[in-house]
């Protein structure tokens, strides 16, 4: 799949976090108990660079991460997302 058709966003929400992966017209989501948990799995999935994890996990994030982490240029293994519990939005 063309990299331009995939985007990832990791969003903090109160005491939780969500990872949202857009693949073409499909939107896949997974809820996590914390931003650190979300970014740790994102590292494992190689959708977040190690240098970005520390910035995304900060309790007072730097301005570019205030609304979460976004990457418009990653490769995603859809089968691996499904195995890890990502759900397709209806």
For 84, the token pair is: 């890890």
Distance spanning both ends of the chain, measured CA to CA = 22
pLDDT in tens, 31-58: 999 888 998 999 999 888 887 777 777 6
Distance in angstroms (rounded) separating the CA atoms of residues 85 and 38:
12
12 vs 85, residue with greater confidence? 85
Contact status, residue 8 vs residue 71, Cβ threshold 8 Å: yes
Is residue 23 within 8 Å of 1, Cβ to Cβ?
Answer: yes
| pLDDT above 80 for 4 | no
**Confidence label for 1 from pLDDT (cuts 50, 70 and 90):** very low
């Amino acid at each position: 799949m063309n990299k331009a058709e995939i985007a990832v966003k990791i969003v903090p929400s109160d005491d939780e976090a969500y990872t949202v992966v857009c693949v073409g017209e499909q939107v896949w989501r997974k809820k996590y108990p914390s931003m650190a948990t979300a970014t740790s799995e994102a590292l494992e999935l190689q959708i977040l660079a190690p240098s970005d994890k520390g910035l995304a996990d900060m309790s007072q994030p730097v301005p570019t991460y205030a609304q979460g982490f976004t990457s418009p240029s990653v490769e995603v293994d859809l089968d691996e997302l499904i195995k890890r519990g990502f759900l397709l939005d209806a």
